[in-house]
């Protein structure tokens, strides 16, 4: 995850990555539960 963001030229900060991953996880959970 961090490496991918760095490759895209983002300035990566661990808290930010954790937040993005948490949001992404919530989206995944929502998608699964909506079925």
| Residue span of the structural domain in which 12 resides | 2-34
The label of the residue with tokens 């930010």 reads: 16
In order of 1, 7, 14, 27, the CA distances from 24 in angstroms are 11, 19, 15, 5
Per-residue pLDDT band at 32 (split at 50, 70, 90)? low
Q: What's the confidence (pLDDT) of residue 6? A: 66
Q: What's the confidence (pLDDT) of residue 22? A: 81
Q: Cα 30 from chain centroid?
A: 15
Q: What's the confidence (pLDDT) of residue 20? A: 76
Is the Cα dihedral 12, 10, 22, 28 positive or negative?
A: negative
The mean pLDDT of the chain is: 69
Is the Cα dihedral 7, 2, 28, 30 positive or negative?
A: negative
The total of structural domains in the chain comes to 1
Residue 19 reports pLDDT greater than 80: yes
């Amino acid at each position: 995850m961090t490496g991918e963001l760095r490759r895209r030229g983002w300035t990566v900060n661990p808290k930010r990555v954790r937040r993005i991953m948490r949001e992404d996880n919530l989206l995944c959970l929502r998608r699964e539960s909506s079925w």
